[in-house]
Structure 1
Amino acid sequence: MPKLLLFLGCFLLAISVLILNVPQLAQFDWTAVQWMHQHHLNSLNNLAAGLSAAGGMPFVLFLAVLWCLRLAWYKKYSDIVFISTGIIGSIGLAWLLKCLISRPRPPEMYFLVKTYGDSFPSGHSLYAAALGCLAMYVYRRHSKHALICLLASAWILLMGVSRVYAGAHYPSDVLSGWSISFIWITLLYWLMARYPSANK
């Protein structure tokens, strides 16, 4: 699984960078945002708003703290270090890249939700992918690992699509958010697996 996620991350990152830098491909970004805007439904609007709140940094940190507290009860300290480092690193990467790239968001007329910061990468998509990947790795020996991976994948996909639907991001922003988390969390997993004594 780590090799697959790393390959997928590199592939999606390459696509997102191409879309960002090639004008002919950038048209896809605009077309997707406009198409989503033209197909808004009240029920989906409410879902997108709910996902926007659930996928923001404050709630992600809250979930991570609850998760770590539960693991602390079972003395899973290496998992706590893995999750904490993964989430904090994801947040740092998201905002560092936003500042460095400074890509404007889609026009405000498309917004369904409040937005903060620049567009590339999508922070919500990056955080969702980070949580999903962390769950896949932390519970890799769980008897229901396949179900956990399925639910995590659905969460990642739903969050990313909702950001485009809400007019807050272009598809390439979402792809970059996913890819950065896939790469970051996988490299962190390999690092901690290689030096397990440093996590005790």
Structure 2
Amino acid sequence: MKRFAPRLAALFSFLTLEIAVVGGVFIASAVLFFYLTRVVFVQHSVDFDQWAFAQMDVLRSRWPSLTSGVEGVTFFASLPFLVGVGIGLPLLLRSRGHRREGLEVFLAVAGASLLNQVLKVHFQRARPSSALFPQAGLSFPSGHAMIGLALYGCVAWLLWRHRRHPLWAAGLLVWAVLIGLTRVYLHVHYATDVAAGFAIGLVWLILLRTALRLWWREEAKSGL
């Protein structure tokens, strides 16, 4: 009993810290997204976007060969890639006995994709006219940033939760951020589009994770 009490206290403190951190990230992400909508659609400010484009233009002028590499990186959150991974990875996880993890990855990608389209239709922001490779569709928030973060962030969380390869988990998050930056480099999205995509992507991941935990808890209680 003497050993059990400290362990219980340690577990409670860890859960409290986890809830505080996740809750803080959720609130910060939601506030950031709301702030960006005010900057873009109420204040109509383009200062940050123009500054970001200028920085990327300097980078491109110094290393012109970088563009081909950027095109390669941005592919890893493109529609063909996301469809393939969003279906293939859950099936692979399910075949290896990780049914819940497979469902989580599928819902992370599918839900983020649907929410992204709803938000784009709602905000109706046109893409930058200076795009290096003009693309169809609307601009706010960036799908590459939002859905890419949903995919790689979900996989990173699963790796972290199972305490396997924490460095890989951190690397996946950095990779997701890098993909978002490629959209600004190519001028196919404004920096505010990308920042908003990251913010709402985090909001979606946290909402999804919370809903799944509650669902599986009720499932366990009912004995299903």
TM-score clears 0.5: yes
- Report the residue type matching 1:194 in the other structure: L
C-alpha distance in structure 2 between counterparts of 1:145 and 1:3, whole Å: 25
TM-score, normalised to structure 2, is 0.79
Local SS of the residue matching 1:39? helix
Aligned twin of 2:15:
none
Aligned twin of 1:163:
183
Are the counterparts in 2 of residues 136 and 145 from structure 1 also a CA contact under 8 Å? no
Aligned twin of 1:2:
22
CA RMSD, Structure 1 to Structure 2 (Å): 2.2
Does 2:172 match 1:152? yes
Alignment match of 2:47 (pick from 27, 36, 39) = 27
- Identity among equivalent pairs (%): 25
C-alpha distance in structure 2 between counterparts of 1:113 and 1:3, whole Å: 38
Aligned twin of 2:144:
124
Per-residue CA shift, 1:121-154, capped at 9, x if unaligned? Answer: 0010011110122113322333335313311221
Local SS of the residue matching 1:125? helix
* 1:69 positional shift: 2.3
Alignment match of 1:55 (pick from 57, 61, 77) = 77
Are the counterparts in 2 of residues 121 and 177 from structure 1 also a CA contact under 8 Å? yes
* 1:195 positional shift: 1.5
Kindly tell me the number of residue pairs found equivalent between the two proteins: 198
C-alpha distance in structure 2 between counterparts of 1:158 and 1:6, whole Å: 21
Moved more, 131-140 or 163-172: 131-140
C-alpha distance in structure 2 between counterparts of 1:11 and 1:145, whole Å: 31
Are the counterparts in 1 of residues 49 and 190 from structure 2 also a CA contact under 8 Å? yes
Alignment match of 1:177 (pick from 197, 200, 203) = 197
- Report the residue type matching 1:163 in the other structure: R
C-alpha distance in structure 2 between counterparts of 1:12 and 1:46, whole Å: 32
TM-score, normalised to structure 1, is 0.88
- The 5 A counterparts of 1:71-150 are 71-107=93-129, 110-150=130-170
* 1:5 positional shift: 3.5
Are the counterparts in 1 of residues 40 and 46 from structure 2 also a CA contact under 8 Å? yes
C-alpha distance in structure 1 between counterparts of 2:156 and 2:31, whole Å: 20
Note closer, same or farther for the CA distance 1:88–1:198 as it changes in structure 2 (3 Å cut): farther
- Report the residue type matching 1:55 in the other structure: A
Would you identify which runs of 4 or more consecutive aligned residues in structure 1 move more than 6 Å?
none
C-alpha distance in structure 2 between counterparts of 1:187 and 1:116, whole Å: 29
Are the counterparts in 1 of residues 144 and 180 from structure 2 also a CA contact under 8 Å? yes
* 1:181 positional shift: 1.0
State the structure with more CA Rg: 2
* 1:9 positional shift: 1.8
- Report the residue type matching 1:60 in the other structure: L
* 1:30 positional shift: 2.0
C-alpha distance in structure 1 between counterparts of 2:165 and 2:38, whole Å: 34
* 1:25 positional shift: 4.1
Are the counterparts in 1 of residues 86 and 110 from structure 2 also a CA contact under 8 Å? no
